[in-house]
Amino acid sequence: MAEHGEFSEPFFPLFEGQELFITGSRGTRVPSDIKEHRLRLQRRFLDSGAQSMPDNEVLELILIRAIPNCDVKPVSHRLLQEFGDFARVLAAPRDRLMAVRGVGDAVILELKLVEAATHRMARSKVMQKPVISSWDAVLNYCHTAMSHLETEQFRVLYLDRKNVLIADEEQARGTVDHVPVYPREIVKRALAMNASSLILVHNHPSGDPTPSDADIAMTIRVQEAAEVLGLSLHDHIIIGKSSELSFRSAGYL
């Protein structure tokens, strides 16, 4: 601990040339081959962007922030082997990440910061905007937030009289194939926000957005509860891994 009760931890800037990799924490030297590999990754990222790099290399650039002293390639490969792709690594729950050898709180912090940043960017494009004119952005946000989750999540998007999105809330989380939904609570919350209509959104971790009989029955119950109180159900969207299903477009509403 430094003077005045402050913690003195090494600061590792994201891109600061070779200085980043000369030493690790507590003066531990980083082997030259690892240092050169990291610098090559950084230069490629800065020159060509992430689109020119495979998942494992983008993941390495995140991991070196948390693991400055060691080769992060093995950790990157283990994460991708466990979860399948970059997006699923970011979306993985903390307990499952911790089970991967080489992953600790520092790694999880970096991963979850990136995940939060992507969600915030996608969300900023839809909040306080009419959903009709920004429908593609709404779908993109829902995919970003939900398509890679391992369990079902149920969200409600609340709209005002002009169909402007005024709130987006997670209503419940469930298992791999079920999430509890309470229509009365949904419409009660809508009234509290002075919303006029709503959009239901939930994901199918299987990747297939085809609605189940339970999905259809639940949607009807929410619609009936909403209509009693003068609210309209604009749509129910099921998010799969790479596609979605709109109840209204499919003729269920």
What is the pLDDT confidence band of residue 177, given thresholds at 50, 70 and 90? Answer: low
Bigger pLDDT: 208 or 5?
208
Confidence at residue 16, expressed as pLDDT on a 0 to 100 scale: 40
Q: Indicate if the alpha-carbon torsion angle 193, 156, 114, 8 is positive or negative.
A: positive
> What's residue 119's pLDDT?
85
CATH 2.30.33.40 fits 126-246, yes or no: no
* Other Cβ atoms within 10 Å of 217 Cβ, number: 10
Around Cβ 228, how many Cβ atoms within 10 Å?
Answer: 10
Residue boundaries of the structural domains of the chain? 15-120, 126-246
The two structure tokens encoding residue 69:
């002293």
pLDDT digits (tens, 9 = 90+) for 18-37: 333 333 444 567 778 888 88
- 226: amino acid identity, one letter: A
Q: What is the spatial distance between Cα 163 and Cα 199, in angstroms, rounded to a whole number?
A: 10
d(CA 199, CA 234): 5
Q: How confident is the model at residue 251 (pLDDT cuts 50, 70, 90)?
A: very high
- The residues with which 158 forms a beta bridge, in sequence order, are 167, 198
Instruction: Tell whether the model's pLDDT for residue 122 goes beyond 90.
Output: no
| The two structure tokens encoding residue 15 | 């891109």
pLDDT, position 31: 77
- The average pLDDT across 4-13 equals 38
- pLDDT mean over 110-135: 84
Amino acid of residue 239: I
**Distance from first CA to last CA of the chain, Å, rounded?**
62
b/e string for 160-183 if b means 16 or more Cβ within 10 A? beebbbebbeebbeeeeeebebbb
Q: What average pLDDT does the segment 75-83 reach?
A: 95
pLDDT tens per residue across span 198-250? 999 999 999 999 999 999 999 999 999 999 999 999 999 999 998 999 999 99
Buried b (16+ CB within 10 A) or exposed e, 78-116: ebbebbeebbbbbbbeeeebeebeebeeebbebbeebbe
* SS3 of residue 54 by DSSP: coil
CA atoms in the 13 A half-sphere facing the CB of 121: 7
pLDDT value at residue 7: 34
